[in-house]
Amino acid sequence: MTVKNNRSRALMALSAAGVSALVLAGCAATTTAGGCELGPEQDGDLVLNLGTALPLTGNLAFLGPPEEAGAALAIDEINAANKGLTIDATFGDSGDTDNKAYDTEIPRLLGAGAQAIVGAASSGVSLQFIDRVIAECVIHFSPANTSAAFTDYEDKGLYFRTAPSDVLQGEVLGNLIAEDGHQRISFIVLNDSYGTGLAEFTKAAFEAAGGEVIAEPTYNTGDTNFTAQIAEALAGDPDAIVLITFDEAKTIVPELTSQFPGDKLYFVDGNLTNYSDDFAAGTLEGAKGTYPGVNEANIADFVAKLDANWQARGNAALELNAYGPETYDAVIVLALAALEARSTQGANMSEKLQEVSGGSGSGTKCTSFAQCADIINDGGTADYDGPSGNITFNDVGDPTDGNILIQQFDGNNVPATIRG
C-alpha cells in the first residue's frame, strides 16, 4: 500500500506534466456513488467535528449514560494520543418519537458543523432524522440501531452501525423460548421499526421450531395505559409472553405479573435492565432476555475504565454498561477512518470505514486508537477490533460479526449473563 502521509512529498518530486495528469484524473471521480462530493486530502493535523444524538430523555434514557460514557472515553483517549487527529465534540439528545428532541438537536448539531453524528439508540428515532443527516453528506453512525430496515436503506453510503441486525437477535430469542419448552406465546410490541421487526424475526424462529404465536398487540410511543394490550396477550392462555418494549416495561410489568407468572416473561435489549428499584423483590426472578453485546466478564478492564472516566467527568457511577462498548468503538473507527482518508469530510471517511474495521483489505490487527493510528501513520492498513468485538463492516455498513447474550433475572430483578 502507498504511504499516505508521504504523498504530498512524493507529488512535489513529479514533473509539472505529471502533476497536471494526476489532477485531471482526480477530477473524474470527485463524488461517491451516493452523490456526495469527495474532498481533497487535508494537510497537517486533523480536527473531526463530532456530534452525538444519544437518549438523554425519552423511553430509552436508561441507555444514555453508558452510551455517552463510551463516546466520552473514546474522545478523551483519541485527544490524548497525539496521533495527528483530535475530536471537537458537541453532545446532544435524541429523545424519542414522543418528545421529538431530535427535531431541535439534529439541526443544532449540523449547525455546529458536525461531520459525523453518533446516535440514536432507537431505530425508530434514527429513522426520523437519517435523511436530514445524509442530505448534508454527514455520516450517521448508530451504536445501537438493530432494525433490519437500515440494511437496504438509501443512505448514500453514509450510515453505519456497531450493533447487529435484529434478524440475529430474533432468531436467538425465538429459539430460546422454544428450547425452554414453551409452545404457545403472546407478544406485547412497541409499534415502530424496531419493535415490529424484532417481533417478526422472533415469531419466525419460534414458529420454525414448532411453536404458535397467539397474540401480538402493539402500542405507540407515549402511551401510558396498557390494560388492553395485556388483556389481549393473556386471552389465549399463553405459556410465555415476550415484551418487546422500551422503558414502558416499568408500567407493563406490575399489571401483567399480577395476572401472569413473572418467570414466564421474555425481555429484549430495549428493556433488559436493572429493575431492583422498580419492582418488588422476586417479581422477575427466572425471567430471561436477549441483547446484542459482549459478555462484560470478558472486558472487565474496559468496563472499569469506562466507569472511572465517566465518574471523573463528574457523573454518578454507571448502573449498566449496555451499548457503551459499541459507542466507544463507533467513535474510534470514525477517527481511524478520518486518519486513513486524511480528511474529516463525511464522504471521505465513509470510504475508509469498511477498511479500518477489517471488512476489506488485509489490514494489521490492532485494538486501540493509538496502536491503529501508528499503523496508519506509518503507511500501513489498520484492522481495528474493540471491546464490542470484531466490527468488520460489510459494504452496506452493517457489522458482519455479532453476539447475542442471554440473560436471566435474579431475585433482586437484576439480569445477569447466563450464555453468550
Mean of pLDDT values over 35-56? 96
pLDDT in tens, 192-228: 999 999 999 999 999 999 999 999 999 999 999 999 9
DSSP classification of residue 278: T
Can you read off the three cell numbers belonging to residue 372? 491503529
Q: How far apart are CA 229 and CA 351, in angstroms?
A: 46
At residue 31, the pLDDT reads: 76
Instruction: Report the percent of the chain where pLDDT is more than 70.
Output: 93
| Tens digits of residue pLDDT in 275-318 | 999 999 999 999 999 989 999 999 999 999 999 999 999 999 99
Q: What number is the average pLDDT over the span 139-166?
A: 97
The angle, 0 to 180 degrees and rounded to 10, between the axes of the packed helices 324-341 and 346-357 is 110
Q: What is the rounded average pLDDT of the residues 59-63?
A: 96
Q: Which three cell numbers stand for residue 188?
A: 406485547
The burial of 417, by beta-carbon neighbours within 10 Å (0-12 exposed, 13-18 middle, 19 or more buried), is given as middle
Is pLDDT of 11 > 90? no
pLDDT higher than 70, residue 130: yes
CB 290 within 8 A of CB 268: yes
* Residue 5, pLDDT above cutoff 60: no
| pLDDT exceeds cutoff 70 at 62 | yes
Residue 21: pLDDT band by 50, 70, 90 thresholds? very low
Cβ contacts of residue 156 below 8 Å, gap of 6+?
Answer: 32, 33, 34, 35, 36, 134, 137
Cβ(168)–Cβ(146) below 8 Å: no
Note the helical H segments in 272-318: 300-312
Give the pLDDT of residue 16: 32
5 CB neighbour count, 10 Å cutoff: 15
Q: Rounded mean pLDDT of the chain?
A: 92
> How many whole angstroms separate alpha carbon 254 and alpha carbon 218?
18
Q: How confident is the model at residue 35 (pLDDT cuts 50, 70, 90)?
A: confident
Whether the per-residue pLDDT at 401 is higher than 90: the answer is no
Tell me the angle at which helices 324-341 and 300-312 cross, rounded to the nearest 10 degrees. 90
Res. 33 pLDDT band, cuts 50 70 90: low
The answer, yes or no, to whether residue 23 has pLDDT greater than 90, is no
Task: Quote the longest CA-to-CA distance of the chain.
Answer: 82
Residue range 145-156: mean pLDDT, rounded: 96
Per-residue pLDDT tens for 240-251?
Answer: 999 999 999 999
Say if residue 301 is exposed, middle or buried (CB neighbours under 10 Å; 0-12, 13-18, 19+): exposed
pLDDT digits over 253-263, tens only?
A: 999 999 999 99
Cβ atoms of 382 and 372 closer than 8 Å: yes
Beta partners for residue 187, in sequence order: 242
Mean pLDDT along residues 333-344: 98
Higher pLDDT, 92 or 8: 92
Q: Which pLDDT score is estimated for 201?
A: 98
DSSP E strand stretches across 314-355: none
